[in-house]
Structure 1
């Protein structure tokens, strides 16, 4: 089978959608090496993480034959046909215009509809463009992959899509998070970033939706022997966070890290006492999965899909309840037995996001889409070649 992917983010982005794209394609290539996986991208970022991904034997990189502004949205179809692509997967909310008329079936992954749930976090033009792309992809793809039940419900609510068209297939995280770091590597990472022995961890872009401000407010009430380590790119929202840090005199208790090499991040997770994710809304919440694989207790926000990601043995608090977050975190820190149980139960729960399970689910979806597509085309072909009786002969036979 030749499977094509919108690879712009796989070949260029080092977070979020890029990680999802690379992990999924690499996992499929590993578990189903009999197929060829075509990554279509307008350019390639020169980075070790991306270079390793693109060097996997049955992954083929496809750059534009005829470069142009609209290659991903339209011009790509000629290359898909030339490469004899059996199925195309849009990994991040969009598919090429008119692909449903090309004879190539398509699948699209919808990660979230945050731009509709929280429009205040997006500019007007961005919302307009996202709305056009997402709606078009949901309407014209053969099947939709939602990365959580929450996202599936949002697609049904906002786009009025038949639930039967939507398949929930969860994400996993990179396999590096599932392997225990050596003591030597941990110590090396600890020294490099001056990490304390005891710390609470938060990972994610420092933006309004991720709600770091609530965690900062909670820190004032959390055991003073623990520091907060924040890993993530800063946005303008970080100014508001810093104002609160200074207001509460918490500067000595917070460490900000940015641009961490991907191979060092698992160690940072594994040395944490608690992972805290107060995000107001997520499509899934990969950092929660990464923390559970790292054997770290999780405290997350209610109200979106984080309960799906973390399971019932993680702890959940209303997003803006900083007192509730402080109480939940202190309860874990003060009770080693609770901490141990959360780690053990979390370790069991996270196995449902195992890469082999997810890869098999995705390949099963591809197979179903192809079978149905070929069956429909076979029926159409039979109808088009069937001799048509004239109206006159039909009237004669009736008489």
Structure 2
């Protein structure tokens, strides 16, 4: 897709949030906020979804402002095209080449566009932004590369360290997505805790609406889903700890199978060997490249959601499960208790017997299932988009109030 800097990319139908009736061209925007849009404009999962959701909800909830999304390039997809359909969201591409643009040369564009606040949505801000009048915010999702360096390549660790440490030192405000991430920032980078604000993430609104029976039946038939299953969603990598679920499955009621959704890495071979060793091939279904529109339905038909990750910055899949009215079993040791709340169950990420016992405890008691669903849905409302979006806008305004604009 081609697009000129400062203009909207070609619009696509089907955006999830309906555009308000206002016409930005007829308004004088109260505030111009810039965002690092590399992932919003190019990634269809993970940080891409986070970035688009954050900006989209700001644009819908606070339409009086303009939201400028800076990216060196843009990918053509229905999901991304729909995002740029909102009239107060505008794509900004480099005017004079991409080299060092996001790290340094973008400052000229931000100044020209009269941006008051620039938000680096994933661990970095432009170098030297602290020497301009532009106030900066950075979101730190996690510092797993410091906590568990063995999961990362050496050069990647060094690059992440350089960018995130610089951002935390020089940004005017740090947004941490959990209390655990905030604690890690303080521990590793010696940052004043008062500079860090915890603003949780939510999940896509599609997880908050039950699908009708016809849609669920179509999804079950399309992916040949078993009648009863435990669900796990996430990249199949060592840190996510799928091997523990496989080991636990051997001790779980045989009427239940395991459905796994996620991109496969080399760790998948380790999981395959464990499945073969335990004779569980017929009880596990692997799915990948699932359309995002079908994912909530797969959640909603699950009996239990299992997420024994060794370490996370937050745990969006847990939020998705709770909104989908599914009981959760997760791991201790990072921030998953923050995401799952007091009524989910937690086990050590090295205890397969404990994981099996927790799953069986839920499956064997309809009363406990009902209680966990009810309490989980009540707890997860603290992550609802209108609330977290208001918290973010309040943070922006507080930053401007201290800047004497």
TM-score range (shorter-chain normalised) is over 0.9
Equivalents in 2 of 1:255, 1:54: separation in Å? 36
Counterpart among 317, 325, 348 of residue 355 in structure 2:
325
Matched with 2:299 is 269
Q: Deviations over 1:286-342 (max 9, x none)?
A: 000000000000000000000000000000000010000000001100101000000
Q: d(CA) in 2 for partners of 1:187 and 1:53? A: 29
Instruction: Note the C-alpha offset of 1:238.
Output: 0.3
The aligned counterpart of 1:292 is: 322
Distance 1:95 1:72 in 2: 8
Question: How far, CA to CA, are the matches of 2:296 and 2:73 in structure 1?
Answer: 28
Q: State the shift of 1:87 in Å.
A: 0.4
CA distance in 1, matches of 2:87, 2:294: 26
- Deviates further, 135-144 or 55-64: 55-64
Q: Which residue of 2 aligns with 1:182?
A: 212
User: SS of the counterpart of 2:403?
Assistant: helix
Query: What is the aligned partner in structure 1 of residue 38 from structure 2?
Result: 8
Q: Indicate whether 1:150 and 2:180 are aligned.
A: yes
Spell out structure 1 runs of 4+ moving beyond 3 A: none
Q: TM-score, normalised by structure 1?
A: 0.93
| Partner of residue 269, structure 2 | 239
Question: Which deviates more, 343-352 or 49-58?
Answer: 49-58
CA distance in 2: counterparts of 1:12 and 1:181, whole angstroms: 29
* Deviation per residue, 1:346-387 (Å, 9 max, x gap): 000000001011000000000011111226xxxxxxxxxxxx
TM-score by structure 2 length? 0.92
Question: In the aligned structure 1, how far is the partner of 2:393 from the partner of 2:403?
Answer: 15
Equivalent positions of 1:1-399 (< 5 A) are 1-374=31-404
Q: What SS does structure 1 have at the residue aligned with 2:230?
A: strand
- In structure 2, distance between residues paired with 1:257 and 1:56: 33
Q: How many residues align?
A: 375
Mapped partners of 1:14, 1:287: distance in 2:
16
- 1:243, CA displacement in angstroms? 0.6
* Higher Rg of the two aligned structures: 1
Higher helix share: 1
SS for the counterpart of 2:346 is: strand
In 2, distance between residues paired with 1:46 and 1:221? 46
Shift of 1:117: 0.2
Deviation at 1:119, TM superposition (A): 0.5
CA offset at residue 14 of structure 1?
A: 1.6
Q: Which residue of 2 aligns with 1:384?
A: none
Q: What is the rounded CA distance, in whole Å, between the counterparts of 2:130 and 2:271 in structure 1?
A: 46
Q: How far 1:48 moved relative to its partner?
A: 1.2
Structure 2: how far apart are the matches of 1:282 and 1:330? 25
Whole-Å separation in 2 of the counterparts to 1:87 and 1:68 = 22
What is the alpha-carbon distance in structure 2 between the residues aligned to residue 133 and residue 43 of structure 1?
Answer: 20
Local SS of the residue matching 1:341 = helix
Gaps of 5+ in 1: 376-399
Give the Cα–Cα distance (whole angstroms) in 2 for the partners of residues 194 and 12 of structure 1.
31
C-alpha separation between the residues in 1 aligned to 2:365 and 2:216?
24
Q: 1:46 and 1:245 mapped to 2: Cα distance?
A: 39
- Aligned to 2:391, the other structure's residue is in SS state helix
Q: Deviations over 1:202-260 (max 9, x none)?
A: 00000010000000000011111111000000000000000101111111111111111
Deviation at 1:52, TM superposition (A): 1.2
Q: Distance in 1 between matches of 2:180 and 2:300?
A: 28
